């Protein structure tokens, strides 16, 4: 099974280091690559636009949908925080022409979870950031508990809680890089005994983090430039699911790795060393 992944297209007006002015040109190049590579499916991990207002966002989202409509393989979309700032889940579904609810794709030897959890960021006096609805957590927890085959989880927001040191956006804003409930999600994952690989977007950087025998990946944005000297990264990836996972990110910020599949989970961490030097027991 070969999956083509693109994330954080950010079509619209350029903002900070996002080269949003190049998004449609980058999408055309991605479409050409897909025609040559012939993956089984294309999956977009969200933040298709740079939000402005509801009317503008509908136009921008329609542009992205038009770009995807020319692809010659099935396309699945997940929404990100910029997609949700002015547009509802229903509006995203209407424009993109597909449901925006979490679903399972059974490929035979693997299953793919499209975890379309809420990605709207709240900015208020009492809370800033994401907040994972219980219904989204329970959907994932129930699916994970029932898993009997290797599983790829795809989401916009990562749940690894990995370091954001060096990240232009998130080094000083780590709370905006993940859900505050990320530990609880990882606890649910720890109960499984099937191989799991989790791939997200949102943080505009290629990373590989292994926690509890589970690989958590994040993929570079199509139009980000903070790692590429001001030029758009042009990042998309081929993810091949077999007896191991091959992840190859293309563009100006490339990365390639092969991930073995693990079914064993790790020994839980020690409690804090609160009484001086720990003694071996």
pLDDT tier at 179, thresholds 50, 70, 90 = very high
| pLDDT over threshold 90, residue 126 | no
Residue 240 · residue 224 · CB < 8 Å = no
- Per-domain residue ranges of the chain: 2-259
Q: What is the pLDDT of residue 281?
A: 59
pLDDT tier at 67, thresholds 50, 70, 90 = very high
What tens digit of pLDDT does each residue of 143-156 get?
Answer: 999 999 999 999 99
Query: Both ends of the chain: CA-CA distance in Å?
Result: 47
> Mean per-residue pLDDT for 168-197?
97
Strands across the sheet containing 214-218:
103-106, 111-114, 151-155, 196-200, 214-218, 207-211
Residue 211 · residue 186 · CB < 8 Å = yes
pLDDT tier at 273, thresholds 50, 70, 90 = confident
Mean residue pLDDT across the chain: 97
Residue 261 · residue 243 · CB < 8 Å = yes
Q: What is the pLDDT of residue 280?
A: 64
Q: Which residue has the higher pLDDT, 275 or 166?
A: 166
pLDDT tier at 60, thresholds 50, 70, 90 = very high
Superfamily (CATH H level) for 2-259? Metallo-dependent phosphatases (3.60.21.10)
> Mean per-residue pLDDT for 260-274?
92
**What is the spatial distance between Cα 7 and Cα 70, in angstroms, rounded to a whole number?**
17
Q: What is the SS3 assignment for 132?
A: coil
Residues shown for the chain? 281
Q: What is the pLDDT of residue 23?
A: 99
| pLDDT over threshold 90, residue 124 | no
| pLDDT over threshold 90, residue 274 | no
pLDDT tier at 271, thresholds 50, 70, 90 = confident
β pairing state of 41-44 and 2-6? parallel
């Amino acid at each position: 099974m070969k999956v083509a992944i693109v994330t954080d297209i950010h079509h619209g007006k350029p903002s900070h280091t996002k080269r949003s002015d190049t998004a449609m040109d980058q999408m055309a190049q991605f479409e050409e690559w897909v025609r040559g590579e012939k993956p089984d499916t294309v999956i977009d991990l969200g933040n298709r636009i740079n939000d402005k207002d509801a009317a503008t966002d509908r136009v921008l989202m329609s542009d992205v949908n038009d770009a995807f409509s020319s692809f010659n393989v099935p396309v699945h979309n997940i929404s990100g925080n910029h997609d949700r700032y002015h547009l509802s889940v229903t509006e995203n579904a209407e424009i993109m022409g597909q449901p925006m609810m979490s679903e399972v794709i059974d490929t035979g030897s693997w299953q793919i979870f499209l975890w379309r959890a809420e990605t709207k960021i709240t900015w208020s006096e009492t809370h800033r950031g994401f907040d994972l609805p219980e219904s989204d957590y329970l959907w994932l927890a129930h699916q994970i508990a029932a898993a009997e085959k290797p599983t790829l989880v795809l989401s916009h927001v990562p749940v690894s809680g990995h370091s954001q040191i060096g990240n232009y956006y998130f080094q000083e804003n780590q709370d905006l890089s993940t859900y505050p409930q990320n530990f609880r999600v990882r606890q649910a994952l720890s109960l499984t005994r099937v191989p799991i690989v989790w791939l997200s977007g949102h943080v505009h950087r290629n990373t590989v983090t292994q926690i509890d025998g589970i690989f958590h990946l994040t993929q570079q944005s199509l139009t980000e430039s903070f790692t590429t000297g001001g030029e758009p990264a042009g990042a998309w990836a081929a993810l091949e699911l077999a007896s191991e996972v091959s992840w190859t990110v293309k563009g100006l910020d490339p990365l390639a790795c092969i991930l073995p599949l693990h079914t064993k989970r790790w020994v839980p961490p020690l409690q804090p060393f609160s009484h001086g030097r720990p003694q071996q027991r």
